[in-house]
Chain A
C-alpha cells in the first residue's frame, strides 16, 4: 500500500502507477455528477455540444452535496459520496469521452467501468460513506455550479479541493477491482461460517 497525492489535471502516466489498496489524495478540481449529470453530459457529447468545462484529467465525484449560499458564495456543508453502482451504466462512456482520471464514490462499480478504467487510464477512489463533514472540509472553494436546473443534489458542482481523501483505490487501471476481490473472499468465508454454525450450505 502506497500513499499518492496527485494534482489535477492528472496524467494517464501518473494514474497508471496506482494499484488497488493504495491511498490517494486529490488536490485541484473535483466535479460532482450523479445520474442526471452523467446522462446530460453523454447527451451533449452525442450532439457534439461542449460541456461547460473540460473534464480531462479531473476527478468526478458521485455526490449530492448539501450546499449553502452565503452572500453570493456557495459553501459545501456536507458532501459525502453516494452509491456508485447507479452510475455504472454511464461511466465507461464518460471515462472514454471526457478523459476523467479519478472517479470518487462509495460501494464500488462493476465490470464495464473496470474495463473502461483499464482501457483509458482511470481509477475508482472509494471515499468513506457518511463522512460528509470530512469531505466538505477538504473543499476549499466552490468555483461554480453548472446545470443547477437539475436541482441541488444532481447539479454539476465544481469544487477546488485540497488533499481530498483518503480515497482507497478500489479499481485501478490494470483491471483490478477490490470490491470483486472482497466478494470472492466473502463467498469463500461463507462456507467456513456455515460450518462453524453447523449449517449445511
Chain B
C-alpha cells in the first residue's frame, strides 16, 4: 500500500483520538454521572460538558495530548512495511502542527523538547504480524498524569492471585487523585517485568463493553472493579463512587519463580482510534467514521 495513504490515515486517527472520546468511554461516564454523589456529579458534569465542547470546537479534549503510541497489526503480505514507521513519524509531526497537539517529547538528558512530538523511540510503534495483506493501525495518546502512577511489581508466586489483588488495590489507593479519576485500569501478569507492563497498557485499548472471554478472568475484572470503586477516591479524588470506569486483565505464562504484575492507568480522557487499510488502499475507520 501507498505510504502517503498510511501517513494520511495515521494523521486522521491521531486527530480523531485527541478530539473525540470513544463511545464506550462516554457511555461509562454518563452512567457514572447518573449514580454519583453531589460532589462527584459536579466533576463528571464538567467532564461531559468538556467532551461536547471539544467536539464542537474541534479542539483536543485535554491540553495534555499525551505521548503518542501506535499499535500496528501488519499482514505478512502487506507492501511497504519497511516504510510504515517513517510515515507514522511524518503524520505525528503534521498532527502536532495542525490539530494542534501539545509538544510532549522531551530529551531526558538535556531536557530539550523536540517541539514536534517525535524523538528517539517516539512515537513508539508496537508491531504484530498477522497473515494477509491489510494493515490495522491503532493510536493511543497517553496522558502524563495517569502514566506517572503506573506500577510494575515482581510479586511472590506463593501468594498467587490474592497477592495480585492486594497489589492492585494498594496501587489504586496510592495513586489517589493523581491520574485524573475516574480511570481505566489495565492489569497484566506473567511473562516478565517488561511483558506484563506491555500487556497491561495494551489492554487499555479494549472497549469498556468488552470483558475477558475467560469467565474466571472476567470475574476477576469485576471483582477488582468493585474493589477499586469501594475506595471512595471518586472523580478527581474529591470523594465519590466512581474511581474506575473499567478494568481489563490480560496475562502471559510466567516463570515458576516469578510473578510479574503490572497496573497501567488511563485517565478519563482515554484516547484511542483505529483504522484498517486494505491492500487496495481502501480504508475503514474502526473507532469512529471519518466525516467528510
Residues of A near any B CB (own CB < 8 A): 1, 21, 23, 64-66, 77-80, 83, 106-108, 126-134, 136-137, 166, 168, 170, 178-179, 181-183, 185-187, 189-190, 192-194, 196-199
Contact = CB atoms under 8 A, between A and B. Distances in A.
Contacts of A193: 169, 227, 230-231
A126 B176 CA distance: 15
Nearest to B42: A166
Contact of A182 (B162, B178, B234): B234
B176 A186 contact: yes
Most chain B CB within a 10 A radius of its CB, from A65, A78, A136, A192: A78
B162 A178 contact: no
B238 A178 contact: yes
Contact of B237 (A132, A179, A192): A179
Interface stretch (B58-66, B208-216, B276-284): B58-66
Interface stretch (B5-13, B44-52, B133-141, B191-199): B44-52
Given A64-B63, A131-B47, A186-B233, 20 more contacts: A1-B38, A83-B178, A106-B177, A107-B236, A128-B50, A128-B235, A129-B236, A132-B60, A133-B50, A134-B50, A134-B53, A137-B53, A166-B45, A170-B238, A190-B173, A193-B169, A197-B169, A198-B162, A199-B162, A199-B169
A179 B181 CA distance: 14
B232 A189 contact: yes
Q: Which 10 A-B residue pairs are closest in the complex by CB-CB distance?
A: A78-B63, A128-B46, A130-B62, A129-B180, A131-B50, A132-B63, A134-B50, A133-B53, A182-B239, A133-B54
A181 B239 contact: yes
Nearest to A151: B113
B46 A108 contact: no
Looking at chain A's contact residues, the main secondary structure is mixed
A194 B63 contact: no
A2 to B, nearest CB: 11
Contacts of B237: 107-108, 179, 182
B23 interface: no
A61 B105 CA distance: 25
Nearest to A188: B232
Contacts of A127: 46
B9 to A, nearest CB: 25
A107 B177 contact: yes
A115 to B, nearest CB: 20
A192 B227 CA distance: 9
B73 interface: no
7 contacts: A21-B38, A78-B60, A107-B236, A132-B61, A134-B49, A182-B232, A196-B227
Most chain A CB within a 10 A radius of its CB, from B50, B60, B102, B145: B50
Contact of B231 (A133, A137, A186): A186
A79 to B, nearest CB: 7
A152 to B, nearest CB: 10
B239 A83 contact: no
A193 B227 CA distance: 6
Contacts of A186: 173, 176, 231-233
A102 B59 CA distance: 28
A194 B143 CA distance: 30
B160 to A, nearest CB: 12
B166 interface: yes
Nearest to A65: B63
A21 B41 CA distance: 12
Nearest to B224: A197
A145 B177 CA distance: 30
A182 B177 CA distance: 10
Nearest to B178: A107
A136 B53 CA distance: 10
A166 B166 contact: no
Contacts of B60: 78, 132
B75 to A, nearest CB: 36
A127 B46 CA distance: 9
Given A79-B63, A186-B233, A194 B239 contact: no
Contacts of B102: 66, 78
A66 to B, nearest CB: 5
Given A106-B236, A129-B180, A170-B238, A196 B53 contact: no
A41 B125 CA distance: 43
Contacts of B128: none
Contacts of B230: 189, 192-193, 196
